[in-house]
């Protein structure tokens, strides 16, 4: 009865593709403890160093006291919506000057809910080919049709729109802003132009940009002055903000529709009130202090050849990628192999993820080690 599962696992193992949970000793800002070693953590989304920051946690708990419980015990549409939830939604709405905001339990919940809900029968989604798995899963669950255009190829997208747009009712264009595995940035200006020209809804996932880009940390759309031109913006609290959960903000009609139709929202127990309060507290009290540190982090990313704080080191084969990670481990660096289906076959890589705590001097040895392993591997 279980043979097919066993065979699949053995096949994954033989191709250096088998995943397993790791037992970490501790995490302390830019360091992680693993197998008895203190390592520079280059595989984290803790972009502002706020997660696992004991001083930040202590400060929040001292200010919050016992005001917030550790469980909501209900979905938002039942009894799981306390004032702090609406306070956070109103805060985000005010920051983006949008029509409304809806909280989700995670970025995955948000993207699955949005993309499965907005595209119904007779509708269509046009999605960047390198969009996150949560977006792909949402499209697959929808009753609409979807097309995936070549990564960041606006010419190819427009050709698709010319060919297909008039065959459907509602049309949604969906893209990440900062692509999570490549670190490059979508051509958002052109996406806005195309959505206006072809009467589409534009959904932009700013998961890896919220809290990092923009004067106040609202994302790439803030940097470009395009926040009001995107119909629905998705952001997460589980990365730069160091908390948990996600949000969608944008046109009020879309927010109201999601409240009534998005199954990942309707049928999920709400996040704990203390988590919601922590996200709100971070955005109000800590995020405004980070501009200079965020700029230095992005400058370091550009110096390493990326458009952002995410630097892909593409190696190619699974086994070679695992081997390089093992070598870096011995030199004090914690990196993880990124393999299919997270990335396309033949492009296995190390995804170097910068945080504001990491300095250029921390990476000098890493660059030297990678260069000595293989001259064709560069960052």
Q: CA-CA distance, 123 to 143, in Å (whole number)?
A: 8
Tell me if 333 sits within 8 A of 42, measured CB to CB.
yes
Model pTM? 0.94
DSSP 300-314: HHHHTT-SSSEEEEE
Instruction: Judge whether residue 16 has pLDDT over 90.
Output: no
Q: Tokens 């190390």 identify what position? A: 350
The tally of CA atoms less than 13 A away on the side-chain side of residue 263 is 7
Residue 25's pLDDT band, with cuts at 50, 70 and 90, is confident
Encode pLDDT of 40-97 as tens digits: 999 999 999 999 899 999 999 999 988 999 999 999 999 989 999 999 999 999 999 9
Residue pair 273/245 in contact (Cβ under 8 Å)? The answer is: no
pLDDT in tens, 331-358: 999 999 999 888 988 999 999 999 999 9
The residues with which 316 forms a beta bridge, in sequence order, are 348
Summarised one tens digit per residue, pLDDT across range 301-310 is 999 999 999 9
Over residues 244-278, the pLDDT tens digits come to 999 999 999 999 999 999 999 999 999 999 999 99
Give pLDDT, residue 374: 60
Flag whether pLDDT at 376 surpasses 80.
no
Go through the domains of the chain in sequence order and give each one's CATH number. Answer: 21-48+290-373 (3.90.1150.10), 62-287 (3.40.640.10)
Neighbours of 229 (CB within 10 A): 17
Beta 333-334 vs 37-41: how paired, if at all?
parallel
Q: Which of 368, 308, 91, 39 is CA-nearest to residue 182?
A: 308
Per-residue pLDDT of 103-155, as tens digits, reads 999 999 999 999 999 999 999 999 999 999 999 999 999 999 999 999 999 99
Report yes or no: 110 and 128 within 8 Å, Cβ to Cβ: no
Q: Count of CB atoms within 10 A of residue 5's CB?
A: 9
User: Taking Cα atoms as reference points, which of 41, 42, 18 lies closest to residue 340?
Assistant: 18
Q: Sorting pLDDT into bands at 50, 70 and 90, what band is 15?
A: confident
Q: Is residue 359 classed as helix, strand or coil in its secondary structure?
A: coil
């Amino acid at each position: 009865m279980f043979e097919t599962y066993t065979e699949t696992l053995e096949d994954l193992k033989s191709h250096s593709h088998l995943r397993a949970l790791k037992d970490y000793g501790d995490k302390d800002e830019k360091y992680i403890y693993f197998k008895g070693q203190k390592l520079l953590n280059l595989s984290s989304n803790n972009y502002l160093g706020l997660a696992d920051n004991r001083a930040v946690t202590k400060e929040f708990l001292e200010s919050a006291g016992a005001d917030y419980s550790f469980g909501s015990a209900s979905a938002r549409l039942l009894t799981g919506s306390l004032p702090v939830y609406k306070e956070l939604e109103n805060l985000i709405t005010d920051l983006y000057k949008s029509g409304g905001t809806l909280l989700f339990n995670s970025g995955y919940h948000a993207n699955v809910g949005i993309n499965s809900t907005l595209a119904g029968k007779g509708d269509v989604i046009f999605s960047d080919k390198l969009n996150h798995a949560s977006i792909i899963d949402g499209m697959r669950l929808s009753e609409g049709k979807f097309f995936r255009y070549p990564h960041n190829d606006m010419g190819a997208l427009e050709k698709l729109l010319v060919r297909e747009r008039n065959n459907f009712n509602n049309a949604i264009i969906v893209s990440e802003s900062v692509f999570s595995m490549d670190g490059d940035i979508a051509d958002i200006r052109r996406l806005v132009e195309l959505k206006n020209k072809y009467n589409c809804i534009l959904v932009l996932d700013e998961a890896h940009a919220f809290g990092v880009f923009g004067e106040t940390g609202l994302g790439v759309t803030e940097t470009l002055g395009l926040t009001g031109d995107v119909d629905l913006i998705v952001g997460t609290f589980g990365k730069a903000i160091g908390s948990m959960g996600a949000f969608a903000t944008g046109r009020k009609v879309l927010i109201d529709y999601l409240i009534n139709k998005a199954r990942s929202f309707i049928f999920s127990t709400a996040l704990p009130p203390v988590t919601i309060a922590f996200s709100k507290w971070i955005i109000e009290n800590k995020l405004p202090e980070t501009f200079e540190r965020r700029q230095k982090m992005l400058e370091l990313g550009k110096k390493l050849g990326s458009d952002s704080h995410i630097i892909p080191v593409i190696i190619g084969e699974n086994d070679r990628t695992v081997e390089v990670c093992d070598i870096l481990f011995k030199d004090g660096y914690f990196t993880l192999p990124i393999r299919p289906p997270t990335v396309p076959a033949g492009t296995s890589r190390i995804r170097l993820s910068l945080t504001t705590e990491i300095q250029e001097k921390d990476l000098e040895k890493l660059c030297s080690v990678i260069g000595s392993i293989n001259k064709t591997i560069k960052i």
